[in-house]
Amino acid sequence: MTEQQPHPTVWAAFRYDDAHAAIRHLVDVYGFREALVVPGEGGDVMHAELRWPEGGGVMLGSTKYCDGKHDTIKPGGSGVCVATDHVDAVYERVVAAGAEVVDKPFTTDYGSYSFTARDTEGNLWTFGTYRGAP
- Report yes or no: 77 and 121 within 8 Å, Cβ to Cβ: no
54-75: average pLDDT? 79
**pLDDT value, residue 59:** 93
Q: How far apart are CA 53 and CA 13, in angstroms?
A: 18
**CB count in 10 Å sphere of residue 105:** 15
Amino acid at 23: I
Residue 14 vs residues 60, 72, 76, 88: alpha-carbon distances, Å: 5, 11, 9, 25
| Radius of gyration for the alpha carbons in the chain, expressed in angstroms and rounded | 15
Q: How far apart are CA 125 and CA 111, in angstroms?
A: 18
Give the confidence band of 1 by pLDDT, cuts at 50, 70, 90.
very low
47-72: average pLDDT? 84
78-97: average pLDDT? 96
pLDDT at residue 105 greater than cutoff 70 = yes
- Report yes or no: 20 and 64 within 8 Å, Cβ to Cβ: no
Q: Which CATH code for domain 11-67+74-128?
A: 3.10.180.10
Mean pLDDT of the chain: 89
Q: Looking at residue 53, what DSSP letter applies?
A: T
pLDDT at residue 56 greater than cutoff 60 = yes
10-19: average pLDDT? 90
pLDDT at residue 73 greater than cutoff 60 = yes
102-114: average pLDDT? 96
8-24: average pLDDT? 89
In terms of pLDDT, which residue wins out, 77 or 57? 57
Alpha helix positions (H), the chain: 19-25, 87-97
